[in-house]
Each structure stands twice: as C-alpha cells, then as structure tokens.
Chains A and B, each alone.
Chain A
Amino acid sequence: MLRLLARRLLMSVPILVIVTLVVFFLLEIAPGDPARRAAGGEMASAADVAEARRRLGLDEPLWTRYWHFIEGLFTGDLGQSIFSGQPVLSAIAERVPVSLSLMAGALTVAMLIAVPAGIIAATRPGSIADRVVMLISAGGVAMPNFLIGLLLVLVFALQLGIFPATGYVPFEQSPAGWFQALVLPSVALGVAAAAEIARFLRASMLDVLDQDYIRTARAKGIGVRSVLGKHAMKNAFAPVLTVLGLQVRILIGGTVVIEQIFNLPGLGSLTVKAVFDRDYPIIQGVAISAALVVVVTNILVDVAYGYLNPKLRAA
C-alpha cells in the first residue's frame, strides 16, 4: 500500500508542474492589462501604467516571472493581490473554509441520497422503485445546479422562510447558523452528484449481485442485509469511488455558480472577481489550490481503491 501511495505521489509532481505552466502562460496570453487596471483604469497616464507595471514586477521577462512564481510556491509566498494588497495565501485561507464546507455538504447530500437510492434500485431491478430512482436521477443529472439553487431559494427561503436565501455564517461563530446557511447550497450542488453516483452504484451493484459468490452466500442462508452490506457493497463501491473522485472535480467548478447564487464568500466568488479584474496572483493561487485538491483527491481515491481491491496494490 505504501508503494502505491509513493507511486501516486510521484506521478502527481509532473501534473502539478504542467498545471503551473498552463495557468501561468494562459494568463499571459489573456487579453487585458492588470498594470493599467492597477494604475486606475483608463484615466491612468502612460507613466502611471509603467510605474504600476514596475511595482507589480510585470516588466520582468516572462521566464523570470515564472521562476519567481515557482519559487513562491516552495516558500509559501504566492504574492499579493494586485488590488487589495492582501497576501494570496491569506485570501485563499479566508475563503477555503467556505468552499470546503460547501463541497463537504454537497458530497454528504450526494451520498445520503445516492447510496440508499442506488441499493434500492439495484436490489429491485425493473420494479417501480427502480424506475422512479432512474427517472429522478436522470432529472438530477439533466437539471443545472443553478436552476435547482434558484428553485430551492424560491421555496425554502422566500416562501417558507426555513433557510436563509444568501450568506455564510462561520462555524466558529454559530454552528447552527453555519449548518442552516449551507443546507440549500449543498443540496443545489449535491443533487447532480447524487444522481450520477446513484446510477453508477446501481449498475455496479447489479453486476456484483450477479456474481457467483453472492449466489453462494445467499444459498448458504446469509441474510439479505449481510449479503448486501458485507459482501456486495465493498466490491460494488470500488467503481463508484472513481465517480466520486470525478465528482470532486465537478463540484469545484460548481461552487463558482452556487457561490454566486447564494452569495457565499468562497473560492468560487474570489475566482470570478479575480478573473474579471485580471488579478493574476489570485487566479494563479486559486488554480494551484484547486489542482492540489484534485490531485490529493485522486491519490485518496487510488489508495481507497487499493484498499477495496487488493489486486490493484501490486499494479
């Protein structure tokens, strides 16, 4: 298992290097001049723009700037926001709890819906329950999360007044408020993931339930719960893990939209503003952070895969 972990960690290094290259050079060719924006926009004089370019280090050669960027990654200094002057790490650290809370909430919602739905559908294939689960999950996959979010706000915030329509409450300030603020955005973000996972779990479970060892276990008189929980789930869940890993990537993208709709001060809203402002240090910092999350998630999925399927540990 340790070899598997070491191998995956080594493989993540070139991925991260490629990410830094792509992020850095894409921003370089993107239209818009951050120096002009930092100097006060269109009313700035050429001298003001030149001074801002020098102050921001944008007058240095491209590779020098890339090297400074890489150096900063190793020393934990990702620079400062061009406009707020806030250190990038500090800006990200302020926003990360919001986005992580939202993603954790969405994954929780997804699993709470997907696991029972997938199992029910798989154990009664062709039944009304199965068809209902498949129909709803098809709808869940098809419906964009912003539409679900707006409908949730309409019903549960504006009509019923059960949950807040917007905003975020830090956990340390009020655990109850934090929970309340996250329910609607988590559901909005998690429904599509739930539908996807439920469909995969059903397919995987159907495949496993058809295996000889399950038939043997049933023939031996082992109870349904034990057959499902102890024998079928472990094997059926391995392919689902892959989907779960993919969902994390999709959820990161989804937070951008959901954070706008619910006005959550997370990484998504920080990114949107940074992109429109051409705040390069912030964009680079967020992109690297998101890449790290994806890489770490993939490693965790691989390790869990290895745990569930010992054959893969040697692969």
Chain B
Amino acid sequence: MSLRSRVVPPLAAVVTAASLAACGGGGGGDTANKAEVPISATAASGELDTSATLTFADPFQNDTIDPAKNDSGFPTRQLNLVYDRLIGIAPSGELTPQLATKWEFTNPTTLRLTLRSGVKFQDGAPFDAAAVVKNLDRSRDLPDAGAAVSTPAEAIKDVKASGDDVVEITLKKPRYSILYDLAQNLGMMISPGSLSGSLDRTAVGAGMYKLVDFKPGVSATYERWDGYWDPDAVKLAGFVIKSIPDAQTRINALQSGQVTMSLIDESQVRDAKGASLRVSEEATVSAWTMFLNLTRGELKNEQVRQAISHAIDRKALVETLGHGHGEPAVQLFPSSYEAYSQDWPAAKYPFDVAKAKELLAAAGHPDGVEFSALILNRPLDKQLGQALQRMVEPVGIKLSLKVVEPARYSMFTDGEVDMFLGRWGGRADPADTLKSNAAKGGFINPGGGTAPDFQALMDKIDNTPTGDARVKLVQEASAIFAQRQLDIPIFARRSIFADKGCVVGFTPYMVGADEYRGVGVRKNCD
C-alpha cells in the first residue's frame, strides 16, 4: 500500500471534518441560495461571465492527449473539449448528432454518415468527408493505438468519401456498436494537417475550445475557439483541467478558490455540504461488483451464485462503503439507465441468510463452499472485500481474500482466482458492457463462461441495429444476467461533483466522459 493511501485518507478525514466544520459557519445566505440551484440549470446569457475560465479538479492524470492512445474512459473529458466527435452522446447515454447529422446502415456491414456542412477545424481546414477518411485510416494504421480505438478500427474494412458530406464505412462483419465507438475516441476528428505529427501534447480539433498547453499528468489549458460551429455551446473564455489525484487536495483547492468545480468522494459529501458547497450527483454505469470466473469450481452452479447474492446486505454496503450515495443493484446498470430491466430490481435478491443457506444446500453444499477472491490494494476495495467476507460467512461461504497491487489485476483474467471484487466503469454501449462481463470473449470474463440463453441473446444483439428493438433486447439480456447472477453486482455508484454554486448548465454523464456543452459560470460568483 502506498504511503499516501495508508496515511493520508484517515487523517484527511479528520482534518476535513475540522476544516469544513470551521468553514461551514461562514457561508452566507447568498452562498446557501446558490447551492440550492441545480448545477444543470441554465442561466440567461446576461447572468453568465463569458470572460471566466472554469478550472476543474480531475482525479485522473492524462499521459497523452492523442485520442487514439488515450482511451481509458473518464479522462477523455479533457479530449471532448478540443475534439468534436462524429456522433455525440447525451448525458443519459443516447446517441445524438454531432459532426455527423445523420447515420444509417444501408446494409448490415455498411454505415453511411451524413456530415455537418460548414464546419472548420481550429486551424481553418474544412471538415469534410476526406478528413473523416484520413482520421479513420490513421486509427486503423497507428501501431500504438489503444485497444478502445484499435479494436473497433480493426473491424473496419474500408472507408470511402462520397462527395464532401457523405462517408461510407464498410465493416468486415456486422457491428452495430460501431456507432458508440464513433461517439467516443474513434470518432474524435483531428485536423488532417496535424495527423502526420505527434499528437501526444498538441491537439487541433473541431471542438469548442483550443488546447493552449498540455502538461502530461499535470494540467491542460484551453481557450474558447470563436470559430466553433455551435457558438451557443461555448459559454466560457477558457477551461483548465488540473489533475489532482488526492481527494482531500481536490477539496482543499475548491475551498480555497483555486478550482471552480471538482469531483469528490462519497465520504466527503456531508462535509462539503456543511461548508456550503453545492454537491451534484448522478447515477453512473459503474458498479461495485463480484466479477466471477464462471468456469471455476462451484461458481458454475447458478444456485451457488444466487446463494451468494442473497447473503449480501446491499443496503448496508450502500450506507457504509457508499456513505449513502449509490443504489443496490443486481444488474450492471442503475435503474435510471435505458438498458436496465425493470423486471429484475435489487429487491429480487433481498438479504436473506435462510434463503441463501437453502439455495446452497439445494446446490449440494450444505456444509458450505470456499472461493478465492482478488482485491486491489486500495482502501475502498479492501473495505468491500472485508465486508463481503463477513457477510457471506454465516451462510457457510468462505472467501479467501488475495490483496494485490492494481498492476496484478491480471491474476483474475489469467484464471488464477475465482472472483475479483472491485468496480468497473462500463462502456458507452450497454450491450458492450454486458458482453465484456459475461459473454464469450468478454475481456473481464476469464474462461468465457456464460449462460447459453444469455449468449444467444448477445449474439442476436450483435446483429440488431441500434434503436428501440436493440434496447429491448439489451434489457432482456440484463434480466437474464441478473436472474442467473452471471456476475454479482453490489451497488451502482454515483459520480459526485462539488462547486460553490457558480457553475451552470452542467449535467454529469451516466456513461463515458462528461461534456461541457453550454456549461458556464455565473457573474460575480466565487
């Protein structure tokens, strides 16, 4: 365990409590009022400070700002500022037009994109079909592209421009989730003039803000780009993202006015509110989960998995581990997400020791079973592991915890342990999230163990275009996942932001990286 993680959090909690309590009394009535207005509320243009720079404290440290290499999910919020994508994602997860105004599959392997006309890159180059072809060709050819870009790029057989405003993407085989890929890093459009050089520290896109300075792992500084195609989306003069990994340091920076907004931990919410900071939270497609290796031992048995699920007091874990911020879950999705199946709420697996024992006995293990569980050496992960260990013990289930450094997570994917206790952020495409966890070939499904009906449904989803029908199939798959407990979700997490009540127009994203379209700062507000 690092020195920081060992000594700072407990102490920081004490100091935070003291400091926030001390500062809390100073909050004036105006601050209190500001804290009551939702962060997503819009404001009249006269109320906004268009000369303001929003400084955001981000726990993630970006090494590179190249969309093809930086593919690790949440840090891409930095890239969204400078790079617009072919397809956008709404905060709730639906696909929306961005640089492409329309898309359709003319056949299962051909995607036709109609591009927005009149758009320019930040260096003045026109955004057209030829630029899209060059961008996708780069993603296909780049030897050191990250897996989130190289995997979908490998699925592309050919990309052709049809005039200035239409692009046809031919796929090697049907892959409707390519739309979600184009709504993430693969779809980030880079000016053709800068494609040949290194994009690790420079960026020329067609986004709302221009990159002024990028220091790997430290900060990224942006300024407004006046040539943006949707000027109403740009409400700030600049944007600075400071990488501050330590949660306590982030809140210190927020309180002292060095940053405008910050991601905070669940444990800091009460104190932050006490200090008159506004706290905004949103459900996310990220859940604390028991990720199972379904090819090992008794985990192949559905009744054993269901017994484990009944042995877990999810509500208690939300209250302790999540400090009351989270939602008990037996699916990988929060209940407000489109892919969530209403047929399988968490209430279907109530905390019931007797039922768990009954299921275990029915599975042929009246004397109990034993599993090895991998845990990453991080405070919350270990708390989860220890809590689960104690919860399932009365049922007769023994968990042998193996605590390792994060770099040794591959012990799970290499099949060395029965399960991994931790959390994962999910994918923009809910089908991809389910597939990754519980279908054959899923990258966090070691051994490829699955249930036949679930696999059949996932295969069907692969050949179903995005739209209502596909969403319905994903809901069915999520229901089967929950019923069979192919993994055992514990509770869905929330992303929590704090600010002094000055930020307007911001809606935290459920999946993928946040965007800052229409986000501004009130005048005379600090």
Contact = CB atoms under 8 A, between A and B. Distances in A.
Interface in B47-80: 61, 63-64, 69, 71-72
A269 B63 CA distance: 13
A269 B217 contact: yes
Contacts of A36: 410
A41 B151 CA distance: 13
A78 to B, nearest CB: 16
Interface stretch (B120-128, B399-407, B456-464, B483-491): B399-407
A158 to B, nearest CB: 5
Contact of A31 (B4, B249, B405): B405
Given A31-B404, A166-B244, A166-B249, A85 B258 contact: no
A43 B436 contact: yes
B106 interface: no
A277 B218 CA distance: 15
A58 interface: no
Contacts of B258: 164-167
Contacts of A151: 15
B412 to A, nearest CB: 9
B195 interface: no
Interface in A245-280: 256-257, 260-263, 265, 269-270, 272-273, 276-278
B478 to A, nearest CB: 21
A144 B19 contact: no
B253 A165 contact: yes
A85 B62 CA distance: 12
A55 interface: yes
B8 A146 contact: yes
SS class of chain A's interface: helix, strand, loop or mixed?
helix
B96 interface: no
A98 to B, nearest CB: 10
A276 B407 contact: yes
Contact of A33 (B4, B200, B242, B410): B410
A94 B404 CA distance: 32
Interface stretch (B141-149, B296-304, B320-328, B504-512): B141-149
Interface string B205-230: 00000000001111100000000000
A90 to B, nearest CB: 10
A91 B402 CA distance: 35
A41 B246 contact: no
Contacts of A84: 63-64, 200-201, 216-217
B11 A86 contact: no
Contacts of B413: 42
B141 to A, nearest CB: 13
Contact of A260 (B8, B201, B407, B443): B8
B2 interface: yes
B253 A166 contact: yes
Interface string B393-426: 0000000000011111110010000000000000
A150 B12 contact: yes
Question: Is the interface on chain A under 10, 10 to 19, 20 to 34, or 35 or more residues?
Answer: 35 or more
Given A55-B143, A157-B256, A40 B63 contact: no
Among the interface residues A83, A158, A269, which one has the most CB atoms of the partner chain B within 10 A?
A: A158
A77 interface: no
A66 B179 CA distance: 45
Interface residues of B, number: 55
Interface string B1-34: 0111001100110010011001100000000000
Nearest to B198: A85
A154 interface: yes
Contacts, number: 138
B245 interface: yes
Contacts of B151: 43
Given A51-B143, A85-B198, A157-B252, A33 B216 contact: no
B410 A165 contact: no
Contacts of A86: 200-201, 216
Interface in A153-177: 153-154, 157-159, 161, 164-167
Among the interface residues A52, A157, A165, which one has the most CB atoms of the partner chain B within 10 A?
A: A165
B23 A159 contact: yes
A32 B256 CA distance: 38
Given A31-B405, A31-B408, A84-B217, A263 B244 contact: yes
A52 B256 contact: no
Contacts of B218: 265
B407 A38 contact: no
A231 interface: no
Contact of A147 (B11, B64, B410): B11
A166 B259 CA distance: 10
B255 interface: yes
Interface string A139-152: 00000101100110
Contact of A273 (B61, B244, B407): B61
A254 to B, nearest CB: 10
A161 B256 contact: yes
Contacts of A158: 19, 22-23, 252, 255-256
A32 B148 CA distance: 21
A308 to B, nearest CB: 36
Nearest to B436: A43
A283 interface: no
Contact of A42 (B11, B146, B246, B410): B410
Interface string B270-302: 000000000000000000000000000000000
A44 B409 CA distance: 14
A150 B15 contact: yes
A37 B19 contact: no
Nearest to A86: B216
Nearest to B442: A43
Nearest to B20: A158
B246 A263 contact: yes
B148 A43 contact: yes
Nearest to A51: B143
A206 B71 CA distance: 63
A85 B443 contact: no
Among the interface residues B144, B151, B406, B409, which one has the most CB atoms of the partner chain A within 10 A?
A: B144
Given A85-B200, A263-B253, A55 B144 contact: yes
Given A36-B410, A91-B216, A159-B23, A85 B256 contact: no
Nearest to B23: A158
B150 interface: yes
B444 interface: yes
Contacts of B22: 154, 158-159
A232 B218 CA distance: 48
A83 to B, nearest CB: 4
A146 B11 contact: yes
Interface in A210-247: none
Given A81-B63, A261-B246, A40 B201 contact: no
Given A44-B147, A154-B15, A263-B244, 11 more contacts: A31-B404, A41-B147, A42-B410, A55-B143, A150-B15, A153-B252, A159-B22, A161-B256, A166-B253, A257-B8, A278-B407
19 contacts: A38-B144, A42-B409, A48-B147, A83-B64, A84-B64, A84-B201, A151-B15, A153-B252, A158-B252, A164-B256, A164-B258, A165-B255, A166-B252, A167-B253, A260-B4, A260-B245, A260-B249, A265-B217, A273-B217
Return the 5 tightest CB-CB contacts between A and B, nearest first.
Answer: A32-B407, A40-B147, A84-B63, A83-B63, A165-B256
Interface of B: 2-4, 7-8, 11-12, 15, 18-19, 22-23, 61, 63-64, 69, 71-72, 143-144, 146-148, 150-151, 198, 200-201, 215-219, 242, 244-246, 248-249, 252-253, 255-256, 258, 404-410, 413, 436, 443-444
